């Protein structure tokens, strides 16, 4: 049985006071321990949020990125080891905003994944096609390449720790969600590629989240798809009631 997960990616939103208040509101309204709730605040809030959620059943914390190097002269960057030292256990890697605005390539992301795993962080690896890819009917090819170059160099034991988030770029922050047909189709494709590379056991146990304008209205039908194990949520994770409504959508 794969774990059900809803992860809230706050992106570059919330002051520390606002963030801690949001966490308090989520904690107060949360009543379902069968769903793992992952909160991904900005780096600067990680220690405080991790501290607050430390002994809370069903909650984890994620960073939104990490650097590929172990440490050193990289002004302004944050290492996987530093993230782990805050009590954070997860890290989002390869979000489309990182790929688009910060030029992160599959090759670079493979290094980040390796560094995260070396520091016992669980990577939430994001992938997904652009609208141009989908219109040109090369979306499967794009995602296959992202999987191959970003993750498929991992040994099976390491790959089996990774969570995947399918986030079609055209659905992120646009209000346009993938249809259940599109989401299930791609999740199933991803699982079949994992099956080819790592075998049935690992493919059936890999958690694959959907992201892209996921909200309280559409989460239920998306989460009902056979190969959709939950969501990576941006905008709708910034309000406790919306986030919790998504959590309650399984």
Q: Which residues form the interface with ligand PGA (CB under 6 A)?
A: 9, 167, 172-173, 211-214, 232-236
Which residue, 49 or 203, has its beta carbon nearer to ligand PGA?
Answer: 49
Please state, as a whole number, how many other Cβ atoms lie within 10 Å of the Cβ of residue 169: 22
Whose CB is nearest to ligand PGA?
A: 234
Other CB atoms within 10 A of residue 54 CB:
10
CB 191 → ligand PGA: shortest distance, Å?
A: 20
Range list of H helices, 79-179:
80-85, 96-101, 106-118, 131-135, 139-150, 156-159
Known catalytic residue at 167:
yes
Nearer to ligand PGA, 42 or 234 (CB): 234
Q: Between residues 128 and 198, which has the closer beta carbon with respect to ligand PGA?
A: 128
Structure tokens at 53: 């959620």
Closest to ligand PGA by CB, 163 or 203: 163
Q: Specify whether the CB–CB gap between 248 and 30 falls below 8 A.
A: no
- Catalytic residue, candidates 95, 139, 187, 242: 95
Minimum separation from the CB atom of position 215 to ligand PGA (A) = 7
What is the residue-wise DSSP string for 130-155? Answer: -HHHHHTT-HHHHHHHHHHHHTTTS-
Would you tell me how many other CB atoms lie within 10 Å of the CB of residue 29? Answer: 14
* CA-closest candidate to residue 6, choices 203, 165, 180, 178: 165
Nearest to 25 by CA among 11, 42, 8, 12: 8
Q: In the bound complex, what is the minimum distance in angstroms from residue 70's beta carbon to ligand PGA? A: 27
139 among known catalytic residues: no
Question: Whole-number minimum distance, CB 113 to ligand PGA, in Å?
Answer: 17
Choose, from 60, 167, 193, 242, the residue flagged as catalytic: 167
Which sequence positions are flagged as catalytic?
Answer: 95, 167
């Amino acid at each position: 049985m794969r774990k059900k997960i809803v992860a809230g990616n706050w992106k570059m939103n919330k002051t520390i006071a606002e963030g801690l208040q949001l966490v308090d509101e989520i904690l107060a309204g949360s009543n379902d321990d069968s769903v793992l709730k992952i909160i991904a605040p900005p780096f600067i809030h990680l220690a405080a949020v991790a501290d607050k959620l430390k002994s809370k059943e069903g909650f984890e914390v994620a960073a939104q990125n990490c650097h590929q190097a172990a440490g050193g002269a990289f002004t302004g960057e944050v290492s996987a080891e530093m993230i782990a030292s805050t009590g954070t256990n997860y890290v989002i890697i390869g979000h489309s905003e990182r790929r688009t605005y910060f030029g992160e390539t599959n090759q670079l992301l493979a290094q980040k994944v390796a560094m995260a795993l070396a520091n016992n962080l669980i990577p939430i690896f994001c992938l997904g096609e652009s609208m141009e890819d989908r219109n040109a009917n090369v979306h499967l090819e794009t995602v296959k390449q992202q999987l191959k170059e970003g993750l498929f160099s991992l040994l099976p034991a390491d790959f089996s720790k990774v969570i995947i988030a399918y986030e079609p770029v055209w659905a992120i922050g646009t209000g346009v969600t993938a249809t259940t047909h599109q989401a299930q189709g791609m999740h199933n494709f991803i699982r079949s590629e994992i099956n080819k590379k790592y075998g049935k056991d690992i493919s059936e146990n890999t958690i694959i989240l959907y992201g892209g304008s996921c909200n309280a209205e559409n989460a239920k039908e998306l989460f009902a798809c056979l190969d959709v194990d939950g969501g990576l949520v941006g905008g709708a994770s910034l309000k406790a009631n919306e986030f919790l409504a998504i959590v309650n959508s399984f």
